[in-house]
Chains A and B, each alone.
Chain A
């Protein structure tokens, strides 16, 4: 993640002065299963139905404004993907494709070897997500529950990695990968991106927020590590793990600069690199196919978000019921 290139995609997080015990960072507990107070339970049931009509109307107005502000640029991405070239730039701008031109999509599919790039993206994102989530959870477990020498120092080392801007790591990593003969291989793309700092931080702080008594009980039972992890810790952590997964998937899916440098052809390069072929260097780029490519590349992420988000919220409510 620290070598990630699309710097906006992966939110880095903060190091802590680990010389002291770290308080749980509440943002990291976005989805733990809190035991609800009676009032919270009541609230869940009824929402804010009792609020005055004025407040409700104001709420809906705000909702409408939100929808408008968020939607307009999204809408333009989608309709531009359906426009012909002369229709894209017009003054005033047109709100509906005329003529309707879905050929942009077939153009993307045929000129790009779209299926190959998509396959590569799925492979890279899939492996990286599994590896990063695993590594993140495991190292967070160690940092949160096991006492060992240099623990705080090593934790700071992990976290400070978030502060290294990826622009400065690529050249050095490129020479290493090239010498290993790993250019144009999945392993060469994946391994340098596989270290996980954000997730370690996220998961560790979540683990620290778990009730101490549970860990102590597990210890008294003499549970093995795996038993403790799978039977005690993870069941209380799924929502956080899902959030971690979501952020990782999105980040790796949009990864550009690193795969661009080490992957030459559609044999290993992921989608964002394939999409650059649609842009024209000196002339006028035909934005219709570019936007069609963007829509196609984004859709899988939105589907994954919808699925995972539901599980995240479900995790919350499940926790509430259990409590």
Chain B
């Protein structure tokens, strides 16, 4: 075995031929002509968002019954989006690509930028997919360079939860949340004193996506993490939002916690910022009564999140078309209704909301309706600095930890954040755009 002859093979270069084992194709054969042929099945790599393996399998069974020539196979893609990304990256480096993958809000762009996933627009036409039937906001989340690189699947947004007992005790309305963060700051002292001095609101910490929740807050102040590829941490409005957050933490109005949802469920705080994904779990386990509300405005006050599905670039055109047909089926009106009702994610098709099943469901579950209504009225796609810049989420999360938990100086922390983000863009993004 000659050690030096071993090279990384690149995706799409070798099929399942098994030839040229150790002397794999040289690195960097970009632009390979033909894509990988598969074994005739559609390999769907999913991490089963919302513990949805059974559901996914059921939908796939339906597909297989209707399409016996191109059956789909459900593959366990890991415990979370990071693991799924890792598995897909391994496949990119080593060949043997799947047909459809789940790609999260932070992973899809890197795949698109590096041509690891394929643009879908032409495939939609070829496969006869009506992309207008997809909820506009959610579809446009996957737009890059005038093309779309994913279809929404398990999409979430944030929600504000309030303990209604405490709201009532504080003499505040029990049917709505604060309309602005300024109103929250006015409510907070009453909430704190009505609940034995416990904080009015808990937000997950920097390793639990504080950067995602704060994104909405910074927008309502007129700031942003970035405008396109221009980091804007040092804008006055961004700084103002960060100072506000820091002050609210210092005043014990806002708490930052590792396990925010359970802290709220146990009654140790009066309010909570969490993903819609937690709604089901909290409904089942919370020991306090609660309502869900929009995040404070003015709109947009909240970012969308969650994951979509995408198609690898290195597979053959025939596989791509079949993959897109499968994706269309997988997220069609009926299936998205079934899936979202069971998991708490948001329906991804426009007509799903008028479907009688869904209407009846939402009538019974007003908390689920909050998220869907908010989607149209109070959300926006995320800033590039968080989701497109490599390491953006943890970088911003770490900085927010510093100013909240650490009570460090906002200007200094954000200046560092600005510089580091800029450096990363110059190094990892700019040359590839």
By a beta-carbon cutoff of 8 Å, the part of chain A in contact with chain B is 85-86, 88-91, 111, 170-172, 174-181, 183, 260-261, 264-266, 269, 273-274, 276-286
Given contacts A181-B18, A260-B87, A265-B75, contact A283 B93 (CB under 8 A): no
Query: Is A85 in contact with B83, judged by CB distance below 8 angstroms?
Result: no
In the assembled complex, the Cα of A90 lies from the Cα of B17 at a distance in Å of 56
Query: Is A283 in contact with B277, judged by CB distance below 8 angstroms?
Result: yes
Q: Is B338 an interface residue (CB 8 A)?
A: no
Complex interface: chain B residues within 8 A of A88 (CB): 285
By a beta-carbon cutoff of 8 Å, the part of chain B in contact with chain A is 6, 8-9, 14, 16-22, 24, 43, 45, 47-51, 53-54, 73-76, 78-81, 83, 86-87, 89-91, 93-96, 154, 156, 261-262, 265-268, 275, 277-282, 284-287, 305-306, 343-344
The 8 closest A-B pairs by CB, nearest first: A284-B281, A175-B94, A282-B277, A276-B79, A283-B277, A264-B75, A178-B94, A178-B96
Query: Is A179 in contact with B80, judged by CB distance below 8 angstroms?
Result: no
In the assembled complex, the Cα of A278 lies from the Cα of B94 at a distance in Å of 28
CB distance from A232 to the nearest CB of B (A): 34
Given contacts A86-B285, A282-B50, A284-B281, contact A260 B93 (CB under 8 A): no
Query: Is A280 in contact with B53, judged by CB distance below 8 angstroms?
Result: no
Given contacts A171-B93, A265-B75, contact A284 B306 (CB under 8 A): no
Complex interface: chain A residues within 8 A of B154 (CB): 282
Complex interface: chain B residues within 8 A of A264 (CB): 43, 45, 73, 75-76
Query: Is B51 in contact with A280, judged by CB distance below 8 angstroms?
Result: yes
Query: Is B156 in contact with A90, judged by CB distance below 8 angstroms?
Result: no
Query: Is A174 in contact with B94, judged by CB distance below 8 angstroms?
Result: yes
Given contacts A175-B9, A284-B282, contact A91 B48 (CB under 8 A): no
Query: Is B89 in contact with A277, judged by CB distance below 8 angstroms?
Result: no
Query: Is B284 in contact with A179, judged by CB distance below 8 angstroms?
Result: no
Query: Is A269 in contact with B76, judged by CB distance below 8 angstroms?
Result: yes
Can you list 8 residue pairs at the A/B interface with Cβ under 8 Å?
A90-B287, A175-B94, A175-B95, A260-B78, A261-B90, A277-B53, A280-B49, A284-B280
Query: Is B53 in contact with A283, judged by CB distance below 8 angstroms?
Result: no
In the assembled complex, the Cα of A179 lies from the Cα of B8 at a distance in Å of 11
Contacting B94 at CB < 8 Å: which of A89, A179, A260? Answer: A179
Query: Is A276 in contact with B94, judged by CB distance below 8 angstroms?
Result: no
Contacting A281 at CB < 8 Å: which of B43, B81, B261, B280? Answer: B81
Query: Is B261 in contact with A284, judged by CB distance below 8 angstroms?
Result: yes
Query: Is A282 in contact with B306, judged by CB distance below 8 angstroms?
Result: yes
CB distance from A161 to the nearest CB of B (A): 13
